[in-house]
Copies of this chain bind each other. A is one copy, B any other.
Amino acid sequence: MVKEKNITVALDGTGGDRNRQGGIVKAVEFALTLYPALKLVVFGSMELKEKLEHGRFDRRRITFHQASQCIPQDEKARNVLEGYQHSAMRLAVEAVKNGEADACVSAGGTGPLVALSRHILGTIGSMRPALCARLPAGGFKRYALMLDMGANATSSAQDLHDFALLGTAAAKVLLNNEEPRTAILNIGTEQGKGNALVQETRHLIEKDQNLLSEGFLEANRLFCGDADIIVTDGFTGNVALKAAEGVASIFAHGPFFKRLLAKMSWPEWLIPWQYNGSLLLGVNGVVVKSHANAPEQALAVAMVEAAKAVSSGLYDSLRNDPILENKAR
């Protein structure tokens, strides 16, 4: 039996809800159980360190570095880059840069994480990085990649075209799909529908021979497997996924009996926490953004997603992709 090579993931132990350090310990326990070849480098407060010392896992699989400075979710990019030199998020990204870790995971603010990742790791060519979510697509082991989920508040049609190229390159390793079909999120499927952004994006995607266009996709078909890659600007992508989460969470807040029924009626392939962890595609390294308010299982899933992305050779595959290479300046 070939033993899988160890994969080291750096974890920002301060991101997300800071009061939930007990949750982080549980997430660490869960992640180490789910992925036997996983090692972690955790950056966080002394309080977290103490809590981790009571965790039920092999101590040798964890390295701890004290870094209690936490970047506020909505801190401006400029402040993030100039201050917070000792923040857990910054140090976790730097661990990827200097080779201490193969990937990093943070549940902190999207803006700070994207700014630090671009600044410290650099981007692949002239690409704008995009957050890529793996959506369940109508059944077990069927997924679609959706990007951008909010790395950029504003995007041009050229950006969306880049996202399609990034998604197509990523689908080869993440979905084992050599010929993924790309759809553009829109308010209708007919040719003339939507705003100038989606119209121009469709034009760019259809004339690019490296891409297979699936035309437009409406948001009510996000989880139906109509396309392998769904491109959208970060504002719309973020709103669409949060709206979907919002409906799902209504079931989690009803009376006990209804909650139980809801749990039983939920399709197994659509358990929300199974899909936590968006990959920041387009930077020189594997960076995973975990949902800020995700339960501990979800944070564990984000760490496992990061490890799987490393194991799949995602980054090398993107860096050496002939299509993306042509884009690089």
Contacts and interface: CB of A to CB of B under 8 A. Distances in A.
Interface stretch (A53-61, A84-92, A163-171, A239-247): A239-247
A249 B267 contact: no
A2 interface: no
B239 A187 contact: yes
Contacts of A218: 242
Given A249-B220, A251-B265, A241 B238 contact: no
A245 B220 contact: yes
A101 interface: no
A222 interface: yes
Contact of A265 (B187, B195, B236, B261): B261
Contact of A194 (B192, B235, B265): B235
Given A153-B194, A190-B74, A240 B238 contact: no
A136 B235 CA distance: 24
B219 A243 contact: yes
Interface in A207-250: 218-224, 234-236, 238-250
Kindly state the interface size class of chain A when it binds its partner: 35 or more
A120 interface: no
A258 B270 CA distance: 13
A261 B264 contact: yes
A154 interface: yes
Contacts of A195: 153-154, 235
A190 B191 CA distance: 36
A187 B250 contact: no
A119 interface: no
A191 B250 CA distance: 26
A46 interface: no
Nearest to A259: B265
Given A239-B240, A262-B265, A265-B265, 19 more contacts: A73-B190, A74-B193, A153-B193, A154-B195, A185-B239, A187-B234, A187-B235, A187-B238, A187-B239, A195-B235, A219-B239, A219-B241, A220-B245, A220-B246, A236-B239, A239-B243, A240-B243, A241-B243, A243-B243
23 contacts: A73-B188, A74-B188, A74-B192, A76-B192, A153-B193, A218-B242, A219-B245, A219-B246, A220-B249, A223-B250, A224-B246, A236-B239, A239-B240, A240-B240, A243-B244, A247-B247, A250-B267, A250-B270, A251-B265, A251-B267, A254-B265, A258-B267, A261-B265
